[in-house]
């Protein structure tokens, strides 16, 4: 067991993978000399040189496009998008190229690249630097999607993403970088695509991912003090989606709350709520409840920002009322 931050685990995953596989290259804005806007790639340029840790101009579309071309010609690129909020500039290269190339070309070639980025609220960064846009990716066939909540997953999911045959969008959460955990990285990790039941309880199932896993765990602890036992599922990857684990827990418990930081309408929570309601229909004592981000942009005002996304209190309140 060693204590490590989410940021350090990500950095170690990159360093270890790059040591093992000489074809892995990083490219993105400030990934080299600056060490990454959030420090994830700090000093990797010293270790691997500027031909494997490539500082790019501010050209998100071409960064992703270059990664696509590199992946098609034998490299394993890890492109960094500094904020997931900038995905809008890359959506054509991501959704029309990376996601569809294997299919359009009849399976001749894949695009084994990873797009690392980070999202979420927590830094008063405003409407264009605080979003949770994973739904765009989840709605695009051909793209895998991983969103680690824990330090161990930050390491293992990134290592696993780096051996997947298809493009993986890997979304970190800016509020988790400094989170510390004791981890044993030699312990056998959960397989790629498997959800983790972080806590088991028979009263309600909370299905979530990324930072909201911690809010859900905090809520579960509070609920326990009031005699309510919650199961907390950390999906870890949204594509593939481990619905079997969700189904198993929900059919046992009969109540589900799905939590996501992204805006509620047509978001990831909608997919989860719909699937649970459709496929666990006869097992539900109560309707599935979505706890999600408000259908509004994020403000810089810390008060408004905090008010725009779910926290433990809302999850607790929702669970208690559901069980009332």
Partner 1 sequence: MTAADLPIAGSNSDLAMLYRTMRRVRSFEERVGELFVRGQSAGSMLHLSIGEESAAVGVCAAMKPQDTFTTHHRGHGIFLARGADPKRMMAEIGGKEAGYCHGKGGSMHIADMGLGHLGANAIVGGGIPAVVGAGLSARHKGNGAVSVAFFGDGATGQGILYESMNMAALWKLPVLFCCINNQYGMGTRIDNATANTALHERARAFGLEGETVDGLDVEMVAEAARRLVDGARAGRPGFLAVECYRFFGHARKDKSPYRDQAEEELGRAKDPIAFARARMISGGLLAEAALDAIDTEIDAEMDATIDFAVAQTEPPLASMFRDVYALTEPEPEPVRTRIDRVLARN
Ligand X SMILES: Cc1ncc(C[n+]2csc(CCOP(=O)(O)OP(=O)(O)O)c2C)c(N)n1
What tokens were used for 101? 């190339």
Contact set for partner 1, span 108-127 (CB under 8 A): 108-110, 123-127
User: Environment class of residue 225 by beta-carbon count within 10 Å: exposed (0-12), middle (13-18) or buried (19+)?
Assistant: exposed
In the complex with ligand X, the residue whose CB is nearer, 17 or 81, is 81
Largest CA distance in the chain: 60
Catalytic residue among 8, 29, 80, 129: 129
Catalytic residue among 60, 134, 172, 271: 60
- Residue 271, binding choice from ligand X, partner 1, a copy of itself, none, Cβ under 5 to 8 Å by partner class: a copy of itself
Looking at 168-176, 181-189, 204-212, 292-300, which segment touches partner 1 (CB under 8 A)?
Answer: 292-300
- Residue 267, binding choice from partner 1, a copy of itself, ligand X, none, Cβ under 5 to 8 Å by partner class: a copy of itself
Q: Show the site string, 55-84: x = touches a copy of itself by CB under 8 A, - = not.
A: ------x-----------------------
Q: Show the site string, 135-174: x = touches a copy of itself by CB under 8 A, - = not.
A: xx-xxxxx--------------------------------
Closest CA to 275 of 207, 184, 190, 175: 207
The answer to whether 60 is a known catalytic residue is yes
Q: Which segments of the chain are extended strands (E)?
A: 2-5, 24-28, 53-55, 76-81, 114-119, 144-146, 168-173, 180-183, 196-199, 204-208, 230-234, 237-239, 256-263, 289-293
- Residue 54, binding choice from partner 1, a copy of itself, ligand X, none, Cβ under 5 to 8 Å by partner class: partner 1
Phi, psi of 24 (to 5 degrees): -80, 125
Specify whether the CB–CB gap between 208 and 236 falls below 8 A.
no
| Tokens 């031909």, residue located | 51
Given the rule CB under 8 A, which residues bind a copy of itself? Answer: 61, 85-96, 99-100, 103-104, 126-128, 135-136, 138-142, 239, 241, 262-263, 265-271, 273-275, 277-279, 281, 284, 286-290, 295-297, 299
């Amino acid at each position: 067991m060693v204590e490590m931050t989410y940021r350090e685990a990500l950095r170690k995953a990159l360093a270890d993978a790059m040591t093992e596989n000489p074809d892995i290259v990083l490219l993105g804005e400030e990934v080299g000399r600056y060490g990454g806007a959030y420090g994830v790639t700090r000093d990797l340029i010293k270790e691997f040189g500027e031909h494997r840790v490539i500082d790019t101009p501010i050209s998100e579309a071409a960064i992703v496009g270059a990664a696509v071309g590199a992946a098609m010609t034998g490299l394993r690129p890890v492109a960094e998008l500094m904020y997931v909020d900038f995905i809008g500039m890359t959506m054509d290269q991501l959704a029309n190229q990376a996601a569809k190339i294997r299919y359009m070309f009849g399976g001749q070639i894949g695009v084994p690249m990873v797009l690392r980025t980070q999202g979420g609220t927590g830094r008063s960064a405003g409407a264009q630097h605080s979003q949770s846009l994973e739904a765009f990716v989840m709605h695009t066939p051909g793209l895998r999607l991983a969103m680690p909540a824990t330090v161990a997953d930050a390491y293992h999911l990134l290592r696993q993403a780096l051996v997947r045959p298809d493009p993986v969008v890997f979304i970190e959460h800016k509020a988790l970088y400094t989170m510390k955990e004791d981890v044993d990285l030699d312990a056998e990790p959960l397989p790629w695509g498997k959800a983790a039941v972080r806590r088991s309880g028979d009263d309600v199932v909370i299905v979530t991912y990324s930072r909201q896993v911690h809010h859900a765990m905090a809520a579960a602890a509070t609920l326990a003090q009031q005699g309510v036992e919650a199961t907390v599922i950390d999906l870890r990857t949204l594509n593939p989606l481990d619905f079997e684990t969700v189904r198993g827990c929900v059919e046992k418990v009969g109540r589900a709350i799905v939590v996501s930081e992204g805006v509620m309408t047509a978001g990831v929570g909608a997919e989860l709520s719909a699937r649970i309601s459709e496929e666990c229909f006869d097992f539900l004592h109560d309707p599935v409840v979505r706890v999600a981000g408000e259908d509004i942009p994020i403000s810089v005002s810390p008060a408004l920002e905090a008010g725009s996304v779910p926290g433990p209190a809302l999850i607790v309140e929702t669970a208690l009322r559901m069980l009332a």
